[in-house]
Amino acid sequence: MPDQRHLRHGSFLLLLGMGTTAIAAPPQLTLTPVSVTATRSAQLPFDVAASIDVVVVPVSGSPGINPSELLQGVPGILARDRQNYAQDEQISIRGFGSRATFGIRGVRLYVDGIPASMPDGQGQVSHFNLDSAERIEVLRGPFSALYGNASGGVVQLFTAEGSDPPQLRLGMAGGSNGLLRSSVNARGLDGPFDYNFDFTRFQTAGYRAHSRARRNSGNARLGWQLDDRRRLAVVLNTLSLPVAQDPLGLTPDQYRRDPRQADAAAVQYDTRKSVAQQQVGLTYDDRISAAGELHLMAYYGERSVLQYLSIPPGAQASPLHAGGVVDLGNAYGGVDARWSWQHTLAGRPFELTAGASYDNQHQRRRGFENFVGDVLGVRGARRRDERDRVRDADQYAQASWRVAPAWTLMAGLRRSVVNFATADRYVTAGNPDDSGRARYSASTPVAGVLYRLAPGAHLYASYGKGFETPTFSELGYRDDGRGGLNLGLRAAHTRSAEIGLKLRPQPGTQAGIAVFRADSRNELAVATNLGGRTTYQNIHQARRQGAEASLAHALGARWKLHLAYTYLDAAFRSPFLACAGRCATPATPVAAGARMAGVPRSQAYAALHFGGERGWQGELDGRHLGAVPADDLGTVSAPAHAVFGIGAGYVAVLGQWRTHAFARIDNLLDRRYVGSVIVNDGNGRYFEPAPGRSFLLGLDLRWEP
């Protein structure tokens, strides 16, 4: 279990916060009880035998661009803004998902109950619209397995329902590096009908060279109360990322010389990415009896991606190479149906939920050369054309039983089957038919118990099994240089356990501490990274273990404090071979006990906030992150760092208008640090630098009749 020295550090931080008498949580964290649905039934996190945090999205006063802004204070989660909108954010939970070099893997993502992760486990948060959101829920630990494949943790965003009285909101913000954000939001309630419409536009010139981006996102939620027992909701969202330049990572030497530069290959090949997505979802809730409720969900979406990479023409000389331009067309959708029953069993409160889900993704994957003659960074000859399909069919059941006034038992089981298939449409004399199939299945049980030590102290423990299949990107290349899917890859299977204590020692104070361990077999890891192709392998055993502590404390009406600390030891428990830089065959030994790339041993967060509904507001926050290994060999690490931010604002209410003017400075001390790492990069370009001292000015207006 975790090193005792780090456990003492976490305990000291928790006790230090509990002894503070005049301060409490930052504005986006609430001390008012909020029901969560992470366990598929509305419950208070304090009463659930699992690690769950709720982040209430602020009305204004923050950039409102990326989820990482709001997740810094949640223990166990590492959310990092790459400053590279061609690659999306980095999010990992307790070390799961740390291997992702783009997008998000190993963590399940949802928006209003609709998956933002594909059936293979690959996801993104680029369409998370914060301007219309109400809250974000984060579930960690064994109960995450109830969400199926690749659920090392779960992040869910929920759009706010329409308000009464109706509101019109306008937001504007501008800052360093050409940052501009504008938004318009309308929400209201009219009889049985409620609505929330939002459009947000964001653009940046980028902190680094060749990192300009522009993003437009729209989100709409429409709800109808059909009668006293039936409710229907429609969620629509759209995303347009016309061109996001990719500056690529930097080697440690490049980073030391000039962190604002782009790698020369980024400019030479004009590396960039364009994304367009449209999605619609429908939910229907019916209280079919006094004890029973039916929930139905269906969704459909289309997402297109066009990306230009920096692969040299020489690397594409092999007839088996897929080229340096990736053109993906995705059509995806699914359904989920579940029934919930709340009554008594043996005279004690009992709740049962049972359901089934089906998700399907059709992808047309095409590859082209990224050159025509001597001209680089343009679409050239076709090199790949295939139809990929992945689908899952799951059944699940879970129950909660309060067997005694002080005891609650929870248990669940999910059966998952995930099928991959690819049909090769690009067959030549030098490139044979690479069609193939792969099938993965698992049963993932989980159980937990909650004991009420006192009205303000709940002790819990849980244990469960989970699994994670390779994504299509990880299956896409074989490690022997031949074409076709890497059908030899196995799914990773994990056994995890945690013990935790949740405290409410007094009104306005919430605290928690958890100790956890997750043991995995067939852990997915990089095998080779050469010529623009990354292949993967299974490592026999791996372990993630650690501790989390958090405190939200309020005393008085205007001061708030939030503290969070995470210690995490993520290591491979079996030796294996890896590549030292670019290689076609792993040949460098990695000893058992080597740390996983992308996982810091410790991270801490503290925030102090002053203010109320009107008048002056202010906040001071700080983050510390330990050194982050950049490769599995442990040869390069991003140095540890601590950064601070400060903000101030004033809220005035004049008639029907609420005006909030605000300013913020991030990286107050102008520290140079690595914002994120690209793990196991074959070119040694591991580092994505974070901005120096940066400024933000904004004005948010709200009108209510």
Q: What is the DSSP letter of 483?
A: S
Q: Which long-range contacts (CB under 8 A, 24 or more apart) does 611-616 make?
A: 611/27, 611/558, 611/649, 611/651, 612/557, 612/558, 613/651, 614/651, 614/652, 614/653, 615/650, 615/651, 616/648, 616/649, 616/650
| Residue-level pLDDT at 3 | 43
Rounded CA separation 413/415 (Å):
7
| Residue-level pLDDT at 6 | 42
| Residue-level pLDDT at 1 | 42
CA atoms within 13 A on the CB side of 52: 26
Per-residue tokens: 81: 């803004």
| Residue-level pLDDT at 476 | 81
CB 197 within 8 A of CB 187: yes
* Bond from prior residue into 313 cis (ω within 30 degrees of 0): no
Side-by-side strand order, sheet with 133-140: 51-56, 133-140, 153-159, 108-111, 114-115
Rounded CA separation 300/282 (Å):
9
The parts of the chain modelled with pLDDT lower than 70 are 1-39, 59-61, 481, 483, 531-532
CB 502 within 8 A of CB 48: no
Domains of the chain (ranges, CATH numbers) = 4-703 (2.40.170.20)
Q: Which residue type, as a one-letter code, is found at position 514?
A: A
Residue spans of beta strands (DSSP E) within 491-640: 492-503, 509-530, 533-554, 559-572, 576-578, 588-590, 602-610, 615-625, 628-629, 637-638
Rounded CA separation 675/665 (Å):
17
Rounded CA separation 206/691 (Å):
9
Place of tokens 């400053």: 83
33-56 b/e with 16+ CB inside 10 Å = b?
eeebebbbbebebbbbbbbbbbbb
Per-residue model confidence as pLDDT tens digits over 244-263 = 999 999 999 999 999 999 99
| Residue-level pLDDT at 32 | 52
Average pLDDT of every residue of the chain: 90
Question: Among 626, 654, 629, which residue's Cα sits nearest to residue 640?
Answer: 626
Residues 6+ apart with CB under 8 A from 104: 88, 89, 90, 91, 97, 117, 122, 123, 124, 125
Rounded CA separation 308/329 (Å):
15
Q: What is the DSSP letter of 142?
A: G
Place of tokens 């949580």: 25
| Residue-level pLDDT at 14 | 36
Rounded CA separation 705/699 (Å):
20
Per-residue tokens: 469: 């299949």
Question: Among 310, 307, 361, which residue's Cα sits nearest to residue 85?
Answer: 307
Rounded CA separation 256/253 (Å):
5
Rounded CA separation 49/447 (Å):
9
Place of tokens 């230090």: 16
Residue 444 burial by Cβ neighbours in a 10 Å radius (0-12, 13-18, 19+) = buried
DSSP symbols for 40-73: SS-B-GGGSSSEEEEEEPPSSSS--S-THHHHTT
Residue 287 burial by Cβ neighbours in a 10 Å radius (0-12, 13-18, 19+) = middle
CB 367 within 8 A of CB 325: yes
| Residue-level pLDDT at 477 | 80
Rounded CA separation 90/96 (Å):
11
Per-residue model confidence as pLDDT tens digits over 615-674 = 999 999 999 999 999 999 999 999 999 999 999 999 999 999 999 999 999 999 999 999
CB 133 within 8 A of CB 156: no
Rounded CA separation 256/686 (Å):
13
pTM: 0.92
E strand or H helix that includes residue 152: none
| Residue-level pLDDT at 441 | 96
**CA angle, corner 149, sides to 71 and 65, nearest 5?**
25
Question: Among 217, 81, 67, which residue's Cα sits nearest to residue 138?
Answer: 67
